[in-house]
Amino acid sequence: MIETFYAAAAIAIVATALAITRTNVVHGLLYLIVSLLAVAVMFFALGAPFVAALEVIVYAGAIMVLFVFVMMLLNLGPATVEQERRWEPARIWIGPTVLSALLLAELLYGLSSHAGQRVAASVVEPRAVGVALFTQYALGVEIASMLLLSALIGAYHLGRREMNSPG
C-alpha cells in the first residue's frame, strides 16, 4: 500500500501544479479531476475507504460537474486563452511562489519533528464513521444541513437574472 500511496501523491502534486498553471479553463478542470482522483486513491491507501468513495462522488463528480456547467454557461471562446496569456506573464508567479515556498519550508520543518510516527495500518470501516457521525457529531450534522440550505438559497438568489438592472 505504501507504493500506492506515494505514486498517488506524486500524481496529485503534478496534476495540481498543472491545473493551476493552465491557460485553458477546460484543461485546468481536467487536471484538477485527475488530482482529486489521486487524492481518493491516497485515502484508500490510508485505510479510509468511505471518504475515498465520497471524494470521487462528491468532489470529482458533483462539484466538478458544477464547474463544467458554469464554464459552459459563460461560453468563454478561444480568445480567452490568448487573454489569459496577457494576464499571466511569468513574473507574476515569482512573488506568490517564493512566499508560499517559504511557508511550505517552515511547515515541512515543523512536521519533521514527527519523523518517528507512522499511520496505523488499519482500515476505519464506514460503519464506525457513521456511528461517530450520528452520535458524537449529530449537532455538527445539523449545522452542516443548515449551511447547505443557506448556500442553496444564497446561490439561487445570486444566480437569478435581475429584471430591472443592466446586463
Partner 1 sequence: MMVDIPLASGLSVAAVLFSLGLIGVLSRRNLMFILMSLEVMLNAAGLAFVVAGARWGQADGQVMFLFILATAAGEVAVGLALLIQFYRRFGTVDADAASLLRG
- Looking at residues 40 to 69 of the shown chain, list those that interact with partner 1 (rule: CB under 8 A): 42-43, 45-48, 50-51, 54-55, 58-59, 62-63, 66-67
Minimum CB–partner distance for residue 120 and partner 1 (Å): 4
Q: Does 151 bind partner 1 (CB under 8 A)?
A: yes
The DSSP secondary structure of 44-97, one letter per residue, reads HHTT-HHHHHHIIIIIIIIIHHHHHHHHHHHT--THHHHHHHHH--GGGGHHHH
Query: Residue 55 carries which side chain, given as an amino acid letter?
Result: E
Ranges within 87-146 binding partner 1 (CB under 8 A): 87-88, 92-93, 95-97, 99-101, 103-104, 107-108, 111-112, 114-115, 117-124, 128-129, 131-133, 136-137, 140, 144
- Binders in 69-88 for partner 1, by CB under 8 A: 70-71, 73-74, 76, 84, 87-88
Gap between the Cα atoms of 45 and 82, Å rounded: 41
Q: Binding of partner 1 at residue 163 (CB under 8 A)?
A: no
Q: Does 34 bind partner 1 (CB under 8 A)?
A: no
Residues numbered 7 to 26 that lie near partner 1 (CB under 8 A) are 9, 12-13, 16-17, 19-20, 25
In the complex with partner 1, the residue whose CB is nearer, 62 or 164, is 62
In sequence order, the 6+-apart residues with CB closer than 8 A to the CB of 131 are: none
Contact 53, 43 (CB under 8 A): no
Q: What is the closest distance, in whole angstroms, from the C-beta atom of residue 164 to partner 1 in the complex?
A: 14
Mark residue 150 as left, alpha or beta (left: phi above 0; alpha: psi -120 to 50; beta: remaining): alpha
